[in-house]
Structure 1
Amino acid sequence: MPIGGASQEAWFRAVNHLARATPWLHTPARLFAQDGIVLFAALLLLSWWWARRAGDPRRVAAALWAPAGALVALGANQLLVAAFAEPRPFTVVPDALVLVSRSTDASFPSDHAVMAGAVAMGLALAHGRHALTWTGAGLAVLMAATRVYVGAHFPLDVVAGLLVGAAIALASYRLVRPVAVRLVEAVARTPVRALVHG
């Protein structure tokens, strides 16, 4: 039984039923669920580029920490995954439609959702209410939804993943921010200043 009990299974079955009824959506959902990380990497690169052009050391520091914060969140999530050891939906619901390879690791919280939530928070820290931030947030929600749609996770797995990723990205940046900003300011006074100032 998944975390959240029968209600989680019922929500998963409802989404899985939707997946069965929408075969035209299978390929794009599967591609995004598996390879959407490339889009998040592109957003992080664009975030750094725009931050350096703005010339604000705080924004540059946040943009540069964003990928590191996502890695920290993913690392911390492994402890949660091991602690909860929740089974994947396809082991609880044997007749589920699964559109991706059946992973053998535990399900809660979702690594993909943790990554997406962390990147979305990193963008928010660097750019505030910018279009890039809203794009990242939208893609994070889409990643969470598609991970359920393809049969890889229960809904609570991805909701928790988004929250865990965002929380760890925020907390870790607050810890490193003073040092990160000073480092950016120091680099701005060197021959490689183009890395932090456009």
Structure 2
Amino acid sequence: MTIHRIVVVDDHPVVLLGVRQLIDAESDMTVIGEAQDAASGIRMVGELQPDAVVLDLRLGDNASPDVCREMTTTAPRTRILLHTAYEQVEPLRACLRSGAAGVVFKDESLLVTALRTVLAGEEYVDPRALDQSRDPIGVPDSDELVERLTPREYDVLCGFAVGKSTREVANSLNLTENTVRSYTKSLLTKLGANSRLQALAIAKRLRLLP
């Protein structure tokens, strides 16, 4: 069994402890390093080359997009998962543009799911980040739907909206993963999106999702 190696970067010791305990409780994940500031985190990720890093959105005076960019440069195969208690959209957008693979809010319910998704090479956005009370992440100025989604494309979109991975969507719909990837590609084109994160946000704004 592959053991995924995780680094956690957060300036709150209590959060570090909680995240470590949550991850180490999983049989296929282990925390191999912790850091409480951006410089130490960047250095540790570069040295250890972990499979993923759980990164606090706010680390003192450091700009999170810059931290993401430096980690991506020093460890291009490491997947960055933003871990935040804040709902400001622009910093999240900037981090996603700078190489982060996903975002999850700070509670225990979705962290492991989010980690598994980004470790599988996919993007993850906490479903709560798509709430209509917030400005959706990554939505372009245009809200035009290029072409109506087919029922299967909509099923795939709904699966992603509740945080399912490609494999989980495939299993739930009795499809192959390659078929789900094909539907994903077509729904991205129809929504005018460049990523799954952006597609979910556009769909939310267009009221295609509840």
Assess same fold via TM > 0.5.
Answer: no
Greater relative CO, 1 or 2 (CA 8 Å, sep 6+): 1
The structure that is helix-richer by fraction is: 1
Alignment TM-score, normalising by the size of structure 2: 0.23
Higher Rg: 1
